[in-house]
Amino acid sequence: MARVTTDKARDTGANAVRDMQLRHPGGVAVGAVAVAAAIVLLLVYGFPRLFPAIEGSHPDHFVKNVARALANGNDRQALRIARHATRVRRFDPMTYTMYGRLLLAQGEADAGLDQLDKAICLRKDATPPHQETRKPHYFAPARLTLGTYYLERGQIIEALNQFELARPYARLADPQYADFQALLYQAYAQRTLWARALEFGEPSDRELANLETNNLIRLARVCEGLGSWDLLRRAAERLIERDEFLGEAHYLLGRAGFGEKRYDACLDHLKRAVSDEQPGAAFFLGLALENTAQPEAAVQAFLQAPPGDLYRPFAWAKAAILLETSPEARSDAAMGREKLLDEIDREIARMRKMTPIAEYDTYARLRPVAVMVSAQQFVAGGHFPLLILWEDDQPAVQVAQRLALSRYDDTLILQREPGFILQLQGVENLVN
């Protein structure tokens, strides 16, 4: 019975449509177009007004739209836009980061931290070809937001942990992170991590005056490694004003002048440092004298490198080379070239007696024999000199007693036959 009724209704409807088409040709098509146009107009103009909660929330522009809402003082609208973006762009960590920031600003700490946790744990798969991929846990904007949250609550270690985790996949000194850079400087400087802090700013004269002496020296050593000569000079001048660590202060002032190629200006400071047996001072004094056309005085300076100085074998090598190439230096040398070569050999023999390096590539031609560091510069936490003695298992057959010294930026290479190479390399301290 129901089947018969349905069939009749269908036939009646079909007949009615056929009658309409016969009486008004094209009318149905026009009506359909009109209805479609009305629906489109409703969606374009009416939808945002009927549903104001997601007005302006186009997911491709959510950051801009959130910023505009905040600028207009409409915090609720900004939250709605950000929440909508997390639902539409579920694989974009920035949506969760933006939403988390807004929730934290509204005092909803638990909800905000939950969104930031989603941002740093999100992993994008490589299968959709249009989708970018990245490793989880390192999304810099989310980590920086978390670090700021902890820093504002005095949890400095937690803040630094978040800042360090932001570093692997971002250059935090770039302009896009400008809003965080003052906080980054503050956090790292507070823990005297100057190698990090100087990426985002530098201390004012008042800050320098208030630093403890040991902290001031750490800062100066980091500046030496980074080649920040102006700040190095300012820090060293504070030491002289305090009448503390004067030998080191003069060495640092001499290094600043040498780094700026002001060789005449740095001589007096380096001479004071040599008299105080500051490590490295004799080597740089000799180089400065050589650059001011004083080879004889340069040799005398090189010979004053104290025991334990990482630069000592390089200073002797420079003296030996000058004795060979410069008649002026040869005329009044305190030590002959052969004796200098013997001293270099004794330095190498002393290093070979150190604890050998346990693991290395046995198939490599060069074998690391010993490593020395300058504790004074290592503890500063920035770049520091590392001295490595290498043994060449297949030395080239050349003239006996050959000596070769070369320099590449912050690297010194001293080849001493048969088969030994001393390398003094500037290395960044990633631990302190």
Q: What is the pLDDT of residue 143?
A: 96
Domain boundaries, the chain: 54-121, 366-428
- Indicate whether 53 pLDDT > 50: no
How much is the CA Rg of the chain, to the nearest whole Å? 36
- Indicate whether 49 pLDDT > 50: no
Q: What is the pLDDT of residue 112?
A: 95
User: Are residues 415 and 403 in contact, defined by beta-carbon separation less than 8 angstroms?
Assistant: yes
pLDDT tens, residue by residue, 398-409: 545 578 888 877
Annotation: CATH topology of 54-121? 1.25.40
> 263 or 78: which carries more pLDDT confidence?
263
- Indicate whether 47 pLDDT > 50: no
- Indicate whether 108 pLDDT > 60: yes
The 3-class secondary structure across the chain, one letter per residue, is CHHHHHHHHHHHHHHHHHHHHHHCCCHHHHHHHHHHHHHHHHHHHHHHHHCHHHCCCCHHHHHHHHHHHHHCCCHHHHHHHHHHHHHHCCCCHHHHHHHHHHHHHCCCHHHHHHHHHHHHHCCCCCCCCCCCCCCCCCCHHHHHHHHHHHHHCCCHHHHHHHHHHHCCCCCCCCHHHHHHHHHHHHHHHHCCCHHHHCCCCCCCHHHHHHCCHHHHHHHHHHHHHHCCHHHHHHHHHHHHHHCCCHHHHHHHHHHHHHHCCCHHHHHHHHHHHHHCCCCCHHHHHHHHHHHCCCHHHHHHHHCCCCCCCCCHHHHHHHHHHHHHHCHHHHHCCCCCHHHHHHHHHHHHHHHHCCCCCCCCCCCCCEEEEEEEECHHHHCCCCEEEEEEEEEECCCCCCCCCCEEEEEECCEEEEEECCCEEEEEEEEECCCC
Mean pLDDT, rounded, for 166-186: 93
Q: Model confidence at 369, in pLDDT bands (50, 70, 90)?
A: confident
Q: What is the pLDDT of residue 15?
A: 54
Q: Model confidence at 20, in pLDDT bands (50, 70, 90)?
A: very low
Q: What is the pLDDT of residue 361?
A: 55
- Indicate whether 35 pLDDT > 50: yes
> 124 or 314: which carries more pLDDT confidence?
314
Mean pLDDT, rounded, for 325-349: 77
Q: What is the pLDDT of residue 234?
A: 97
Q: What is the pLDDT of residue 333?
A: 53
pLDDT tens, residue by residue, 187-245: 999 999 999 999 999 999 999 999 999 999 999 999 998 999 999 999 999 999 999 99
Q: Model confidence at 418, in pLDDT bands (50, 70, 90)?
A: confident
Distances (CA, A) of 235 to 20, 167, 205, 263, 321: 95, 28, 9, 20, 35
Q: Model confidence at 392, in pLDDT bands (50, 70, 90)?
A: confident
- Indicate whether 151 pLDDT > 90: yes
Range of lowest pLDDT (120-124, 157-161, 253-257, 420-424): 120-124
User: Are residues 218 and 192 in contact, defined by beta-carbon separation less than 8 angstroms?
Assistant: yes
pLDDT tens, residue by residue, 299-334: 999 999 998 899 999 999 999 999 888 776 665 555
Q: What's the rounded Cα separation, in Å, for the pair 138 and 55? A: 32
Sole residue written with tokens 């300058």? 374
Mean pLDDT, rounded, for 13-19: 49
Residue of 118, 59, 124, 127 lying closest to 89 (CA atoms): 59
Range of lowest pLDDT (158-162, 192-196, 389-393, 428-432): 428-432
> 84 or 38: which carries more pLDDT confidence?
84
Q: What's the rounded Cα separation, in Å, for the pair 405 and 390? A: 15
pLDDT tens, residue by residue, 277-302: 999 999 999 999 999 999 999 999 99
Q: What's the rounded Cα separation, in Å, for the pair 12 and 410? A: 94
Token representation of residue 377: 């510069």
Mean pLDDT, rounded, for 83-110: 91
- Indicate whether 102 pLDDT > 90: yes
Give the number of C-alpha atoms closer than 13 A to the C-alpha of residue 253, restricted to the C-beta side.
23
Q: What is the pLDDT of residue 92?
A: 87
Q: What is the pLDDT of residue 55?
A: 47
